[in-house]
Structure 1
Amino acid sequence: MSPVQAQERPQPHDPGAERAVLASMLLEPRPCVDTFIEKLGSEKVFYSPAFRAIGRAILELQKEDKGIDIITVADRLSREGRLEHIGGEMFLLDIQNSIATTANMEEWCRIVRGYSILREMIGTCAQSLEKCYSPDKDVEEIVGEIESDIYNIRHGHTQPEIIEFSKYIEETFRQVEKIIMNQVEIGIPTGYCDLDRLIIGLKPGEMIVLAARPSIGKTSLALNIVRNIALKASKSRSVAFFSLEMTAEQLTRRLLCTEAGVSESRFYDGSFNKKGELMRLTKAAGTLRNANIFIDPTSGITIAELSAKARRLKMKHNIDIVVIDYLQLMKAGSNIDSRQQEVAEISSGIKKLAKDLNIPVLVLAQLNREVEKTSGKASKPRLSHLRESGAIEQDADIVVFLHRDRDETKDVSPEVLEKGVDAELIVEKNRNGATGIVGLKFIPQIMEFRSNSRYSDEDNPAKNDNNSMNRSGQ
């Protein structure tokens, strides 16, 4: 059957269920209209134009706090010039007399809702066909839009139940007990204990921004966190890393060298002279083979494409976190004149992705040059230094700045380079917690950030899941 023939077929619907829903609202307006609004939302769920007109009249009367019966509904339809088109008052009377009881109202709503979703899917598929014939769009962009449309249909019709407050209290205290007994994890630990104590880990549904000026080490820190999450915790997790700046080979090489404690320069000059370096690289390679890390090195990826890929990874591999390096290299995918508006759309899309997948999204971002125009303590980054859009600050749940003096790594002895230079993580925004500064050591030789303190058995707010962490977590 051709697509045209498919579209000409009558769309799925159940006239009996639609009639029964309307009859229930006419027989017992107060409870049944409320049930309709809760379960179905609007009159658009009806297939029949006549039923949609009647449903709209009932909802308008409800909104205006007016009585609902055959007479008032007929009067409303008559005023709008629609009464005769639907069949007059006798049609309304036939609807009301079509049922004897409203006991099955919720079941009828379920049937109507199901067919409404099927019709929405048919409409989406028809639009998808049109998109496939669009000559001015990239294939990946079209695929991303279609996947997003279908995902929204699948997950956009879930109605959360209303729960008594007392049950929330009970559930909250059960969570408290589990936290005390270390049976539940609030957020995914980063592997940096002082940071985890401050932000309580990377929590589901949150957008976490890690920002810095170029060449400060934000990619290295992000990879350190990825390595900790995927390998160093007692509970391994799956990570999706979207790299718009570095290739998959470069990222793999950096992860390998950091894990082995070997300078990346060895790959370029071939001088694996230090005792045990090749052995450590071999061991690190074996360890990294077990890591559930998925790297996408697509340059200039749009937010729609990234979201589609992340959804596929979530469904196929149940990823626990998404990392994006970095925001300003992404594209909105639509024609937007202002770069500030484009970044705002990208930022909003990232936040939506975190909420839709209910996982944390760690996104790297660049700071503008204003931070370099001052000296001393005043040179530390602020929220106003986020480049190109204030929307990033607004959308983010947590904003962390990586700050260090780049001059410290110049003209210093190899001994100092191996011991590390001081760096800071400045938690400038934390929607659900405290802000503050966390001290780190940066080891330029192996591109590794190390925490200045260790996890203790008694004090780990993200659950004692990191006691097995080695260098990066300690």
Structure 2
Amino acid sequence: MEKSLNISPVRVDKTTIINLEKGKLPPQAVDIEEAVLGAMLIDIKAPGEVIDLLQPEVFYKEAHKYIYEAITQLFHSTPPQPIDLLTVSAQLKRNGKLELVGSDFYLIQLTQKIASSAHIVFHARIILQKYIQRSLITISSKLIEDCYDEGMDVFDLLDTAETNLYEITQGNLKKGYETAQSLVNQAKQRIEEISNKEGLSGIPTGFRKLDELTSGWQPSDLIIIAARPGMGKTAFVLSMARNIAVGSNEPVALFSLEMSSVQLITRLISSETGLTSEKLRKGTLEPHEWEQLNVKVKDLEKAPLYIDDTPSLSIFDLRAKARRLVSQHGIKLIVIDYLQLMSAGSSSKGGGNREQEISMISRSLKGLAKELNVPVIALSQLSRAVETRGSSKRPLLSDLRESGAIEQDADIVSFIYRPEYYKIDNWDDEEAAPTTNQGEFIVAKHRNGSLDNIRLKFIGSLGKFDNLDEYGMTYDDSMPSKMNLDAHNPFITPNLPSPNDAFGSSMNNNFDENSDVPF
């Protein structure tokens, strides 16, 4: 007799059964989509509540994308058109999409599936969540595929992944295009906001004439501030950062590749307290100066200023850190000190020369400004050609060091020029005014505005720039009452050292080779 075979039944666990039932359907909520569209068709107030939350591409069902697109077109038309069954049907017909959505019969069905628009915002957020889930799946799938490609640079993969995730976090996933109608409405809204806004449309620098020229640093602009060593590049951006973070309470991120964060904050303390950098460096403070130090740094302590002193920072690391700072702290301005100390990092291809590397870095900085929609300021060195010229040492665009791409990519190119550094005693203008303790901020390229040379006060012992007062008077020990009461000079404090004292007399001759400020 043949023995029967004992075959054990295949055991299928509960999880496997659930996965088989679910399959690989993308995250979706078609019934919620129907409820939202139906509410918009029956309630005149409903479209205004969700029109800023949703875009046509967030809908899973293709027909729903076409219907919502027709609704947004009616909503944004000039003047706005009423939104109901008849108008949406007519708009779909004009778009050639009415039959694709299932004709008028489908629109009628949508209105029958909802009684009111009471929970439309909550429902719209569910649709958006499902879209984000689908987007994450798409990004992850592409990332997995690229990870198996041995030819892909791992740092490029990291940067791409972080960029895509940041776009989702900010709710601005890349769109293929925008219509002229949408862009015109955005521009009109921006102009209206500016007209209703008191003050400047951009981030104020605290330098009056510069703000009048630029209306503040504008979002998405790349600003280059270039100068020869010793002109005061770092002093200028520190003074500006103080004005923005302390004066306007706007968050600022400063990436310093040259100086340590403690050195930078010490210079800011000098500006804020009126105590010379020499005293702070040596710690030779009198009892009343210690009290002055403790009292006057309180505003600086509370300022939304974030300093990163990572040396040899790569453009890849900068992008990653800048995205986190904007996301976590709402940074309104990014400053890099300075561009030539940055590296392209491992993401650079082909190991090109330094000029090509700087070109890539400047393009990346412009891309970062547009991506984060904040102004990015990059300091830059000038070539030695300035030193070889004759009597005029004023910088030119052709003096930008290592790459013409910097001039091409930047929205604003500016220079800092202090004739006193070259022992030039008078300005080369009709009045031949003295150059003592003055500098010039030269706007040599301004993509969206005019050009100008703006004179500023330079206080070397405190390592800062300030507004030149209305009458052109400069920092002088002989007029303490004017300097101490000037409302436009918030840094000025009593009993500051004179440029004619023992320290000030040697000020112009004691420049540290690696520093912008005489110490």
Structure 2: distance between partners of 1:430 and 1:302: 27
Q: 1:123 to 1:284 in 2, by over 3 A?
A: same
Q: Say if 2:267 is the partner of 1:254.
A: yes
Counterpart position of 1:157: 174
Shift, 1:304, TM fit: 2.3
Shift, 1:13, TM fit: 7.0
2:216 is paired with a residue of what secondary structure?
coil
Q: Say if 2:233 is the partner of 1:218.
A: yes
Q: Say if 2:464 is the partner of 1:452.
A: no
Q: Pick one of 406, 410, 426 that aligns with 2:442.
A: 426
Query: Contact 2:29–2:130 (CA<8 Å) still a contact in 1?
Result: no
Counterpart position of 2:320: 308
Query: Contact 2:381–2:401 (CA<8 Å) still a contact in 1?
Result: yes
Q: 1:133 to 1:271 in 2, by over 3 A?
A: farther
Shift, 1:294, TM fit: 0.7
- Aligned pairs for 1:103-142 within 5 A: 118-126=133-141, 128=143
Query: Contact 2:466–2:489 (CA<8 Å) still a contact in 1?
Result: no
Q: 1:97 to 1:442 in 2, by over 3 A?
A: closer
Query: Contact 1:420–1:444 (CA<8 Å) still a contact in 2?
Result: no
- Aligned pairs for 1:294-373 within 5 A: 294-333=306-345, 334-336=347-349, 337-373=352-388
Q: Say if 2:161 is the partner of 1:146.
A: yes
Q: Pick one of 378, 396, 410 that aligns with 1:396.
A: 410
Shift, 1:438, TM fit: 0.8
Counterpart position of 1:280: 292
Aligned residue identity for 1:269: K
Shift, 1:239, TM fit: 0.6
Q: 1:165 to 1:407 in 2, by over 3 A?
A: closer
> Sequence identity, in percent?
35
Structure 2 unaligned residues grouped into runs of 5+: 1-14, 32-54, 63-98, 111-123, 425-434, 472-485, 493-519
Q: 1:132 to 1:453 in 2, by over 3 A?
A: farther
Q: Say if 2:491 is the partner of 1:471.
A: yes
Aligned residue identity for 1:156: L
Query: Contact 2:231–2:421 (CA<8 Å) still a contact in 1?
Result: no
User: How large is the RMSD of aligned CA atoms in angstroms?
Assistant: 4.4
2:348 is paired with a residue of what secondary structure?
coil
Shift, 1:193, TM fit: 0.9
Shift, 1:453, TM fit: 3.0
The Cα offsets for residues 82-128 of structure 1, whole Å up to 9 and x where unpaired, read as: xxxxxxxxxxxxxx899455976xx9xx9999978655533433565
Shift, 1:215, TM fit: 2.2
Q: Say if 2:205 is the partner of 1:187.
A: no
Aligned residue identity for 1:396: A
1:294 is paired with a residue of what secondary structure?
strand
The Cα offsets for residues 281-332 of structure 1, whole Å up to 9 and x where unpaired, read as: 2123222111000111111222222122111111111111111111111122
Aligned residue identity for 2:374: I
Structure 2: distance between partners of 1:358 and 1:406: 38
Q: 1:168 to 1:352 in 2, by over 3 A?
A: closer
Structure 1 unaligned residues grouped into runs of 5+: 18-37, 48-95, 411-418, 456-465
Number of residue pairs aligned between Structure 1 and Structure 2: 370
- Aligned pairs for 1:40-119 within 5 A: 99-100=102-103, 118-119=133-134
Q: TM-score, normalised by structure 2?
A: 0.60
Q: 1:313 to 1:352 in 2, by over 3 A?
A: same
Q: TM-score, normalised by structure 1?
A: 0.66
Aligned residue identity for 2:338: Y
Shift, 1:130, TM fit: 7.7
2:181 is paired with a residue of what secondary structure?
coil
Q: 1:329 to 1:131 in 2, by over 3 A?
A: farther
Structure 1: distance between partners of 2:134 and 2:233: 47
1:125 is paired with a residue of what secondary structure?
helix
Shift, 1:248, TM fit: 1.0
Counterpart position of 1:239: 252
Query: Contact 1:206–1:354 (CA<8 Å) still a contact in 2?
Result: yes
Aligned residue identity for 1:163: Q
2:200 is paired with a residue of what secondary structure?
coil
Counterpart position of 1:209: 224
Shift, 1:134, TM fit: 10
Counterpart position of 2:428: none
Shift, 1:272, TM fit: 2.1
